[in-house]
Chains A and B, each alone.
Chain A
């Protein structure tokens, strides 16, 4: 046996209590990691090396209102604009709604698109321009689905009343040295003229993507564009590509601020739960601490034992929360299953505690005995069962679909993992330090005199 074994055995003494603390921490961590990952993906997609001069023009009020196509030509004529292309999110369904069949589909103008996206390149541009229902697929998408030139891809429209039958005419790739920061090679592009043709009208588009000659130019260019359309029947908003991605957040109003407050509250609550649980646990062990001191354990030993125990409990929660988030966050269905499992586990635990509390200890009730002795185990088993059951029935949606393409993945990144780790350590330390300190200073005599 080592001090470590002793700490671990101490941590598992009251399983329900330990489970409650650990699962509370795990849920808090999951919430924090989810939100941080989400914000990070929206506001700060993996940075490309070159500062982008790309910008977006859309309706001033909302993306859904759409802009007339005449907008395009007016902007193209402005000084400092390299080129501009409509970029219409088509959505639709390819084969079925399984996540693997999901990818972004954009209707674009082949004469201009690659001038705007100069970080993409293709050798098949001529074929794309010439083929009315031609489609260019990104390298990643082509590899994922085995698409080759000559293949037919049928997309069933949902937001648009049109079912394009597309012919693959080529592949596009990242230009030399460019990094694919937005899953751009996982897109399918087709001609906006073809979309117009199917709809029988020149459709309004939700956004135009354009490129300025330098990133600095956008400082004056973007306000000028907005000014040009002021008081027209379609006022526009012109913003950098990055700001456009961030504006998604603004669409959610002040949800970000609210969420951050919530995160703080959640973390504070879990800290309180952990700390009060630990205090209670150590208080119950007064006589044992006194015995240890009589055997020669010093203040430092007692401090280390208790803090170590707190760290073990929070490490369990951290492992569950960080590991679970890391594994389940990439798919919304998995994540929902994991989160619900955790919430139900907490619910069951609280229920068990209420049972233990309400039914008198002297009643010898079997239910109470089970709740007190096996409550934590039962709660964890129920939570796990729910997670596993939900995993089987969750609809196969992915984040890209859910966010209409603006949150391409929910891959948990390193800084978020480190944040989770720090929270785990801080909760472990803060929750146990005070009880540990008190235990370490407790008088041996008072402890020994305590009758148990």
Chain B
């Protein structure tokens, strides 16, 4: 089993006026290659925080994160940026597409940082758009697309550089169930046919059902596999 992401005794503490908030409390999790993991739990349980640590856009207060054999704690901000561009795709709840760029241009964005030629970038963006079934909408701007389509463009953008790991924070949170299904279907393909490892934070049991494994967080603690919060 090849390990893609592993956290060791990871905690994240926010010090407020007189209290300490444990967003994450001693979390140990291992995600293997070709896993499709859903992270669930009540609001404020630390799901996003954990995802951000694995993405290298946040740093733990204690413990270590090793992702794709990189010890994130030892990397500088600019190294992390480069690393994310190459190895990690990120999908947001609110799509976060650039409104003035066409679908194709949005997908090309992360490719601008690679050494690819302009025509190679175009081809790769096109391939990604075909994968999410929107090759015919290449020239449309986000405003001309439905929410579901926008999220599929965002997924195309996340996979444009062909990263091994895909991280999503409530990717279906803003979508109706039909659009959500389309998005989950794409994740299924990415995981099954293209061997991508996926970690998905979600509130939606239906979305979680699409994953191979579900783990729960409660008050910053990762519950043992198979266990759920009491009143879930």
Spell out A's residues near B (CB within 8 Å).
1-3, 5-6, 9-10, 12-13, 287-288, 291-301, 444-445, 448, 452
Residues of B within 8 A of A6 (CB): 98, 101, 105, 109, 112
Q: Contact check, A296 vs B110: say whether CB atoms are below 8 A apart.
A: yes
Q: Contact check, A298 vs B81: say whether CB atoms are below 8 A apart.
A: yes
Of residues A13, A300, A444, which shows the largest number of chain B Cβ atoms within 10 Å of its Cβ? A444
Residues of A within 8 A of B157 (CB): 295
Residues of B within 8 A of A297 (CB): 81, 85, 113
Q: Contact check, B86 vs A445: say whether CB atoms are below 8 A apart.
A: no
Q: Contact check, B90 vs A292: say whether CB atoms are below 8 A apart.
A: no
Docked pose: A13 CA to B141 CA in angstroms:
13
Q: Contact check, B58 vs A295: say whether CB atoms are below 8 A apart.
A: no
- Listed by A's residue number, 22 A-B pairs whose Cβ atoms lie within 8 Å are A1-B105, A1-B108, A1-B112, A6-B101, A6-B105, A9-B101, A10-B100, A12-B100, A288-B98, A293-B81, A294-B55, A294-B57, A295-B109, A295-B157, A296-B84, A297-B81, A298-B77, A298-B81, A299-B78, A300-B78, A444-B58, A448-B92
The prevalent SS among residues of B at the interface is: helix
**B52 on the A face (CB < 8 A):** yes
Partner of B57, one of A1, A9, A12, A293: A293
Residues of A within 8 A of B77 (CB): 298-299
Partner of B58, one of A9, A13, A445: A445
**B189 on the A face (CB < 8 A):** no
**B118 on the A face (CB < 8 A):** yes
CB distance from A335 to the nearest CB of B (A): 36
Residues of B within 8 A of A2 (CB): 112, 118
CB distance from B194 to the nearest CB of A (A): 19
Q: Contact check, B96 vs A288: say whether CB atoms are below 8 A apart.
A: yes
* Chain B interface category by residue count: 20 to 34
Docked pose: A9 CA to B157 CA in angstroms:
19
Of residues B94, B96, B121, which shows the largest number of chain A Cβ atoms within 10 Å of its Cβ? B96
> Apart from A1-B101, A294-B84, what 13 extra A-B contacts exist at CB < 8 Å?
A1-B121, A2-B112, A3-B112, A6-B101, A293-B57, A295-B85, A295-B110, A295-B157, A296-B83, A296-B161, A444-B58, A445-B52, A452-B94
Residues of A within 8 A of B99 (CB): 13
Residues of A within 8 A of B74 (CB): none
**B206 on the A face (CB < 8 A):** no
**B212 on the A face (CB < 8 A):** no
Partner of A445, one of B57, B83, B104, B108: B57
Residues of A within 8 A of B83 (CB): 296
**B140 on the A face (CB < 8 A):** no
Pick the 8 closest A-B CB pairs, nearest first: A296-B85, A291-B96, A298-B81, A444-B57, A1-B105, A296-B84, A9-B100, A295-B110
Docked pose: A1 CA to B110 CA in angstroms:
11
Q: Contact check, A301 vs B100: say whether CB atoms are below 8 A apart.
A: no
**B143 on the A face (CB < 8 A):** no
Residue-wise interface mask of B (107-125) relative to A, using a CB-CB cutoff of 8 A (1 in contact, 0 not)? 0111011000010010000
Residues of A within 8 A of B86 (CB): 296
Known: A1-B101, A6-B112, A445-B57. A295 touches B90 (CB 8 A): yes
**B209 on the A face (CB < 8 A):** no
Docked pose: A295 CA to B109 CA in angstroms:
8
Residues of B within 8 A of A291 (CB): 92, 96, 98
Q: Contact check, A294 vs B90: say whether CB atoms are below 8 A apart.
A: yes
Residues of B within 8 A of A9 (CB): 100-101
Docked pose: A6 CA to B98 CA in angstroms:
10
Docked pose: A5 CA to B99 CA in angstroms:
14
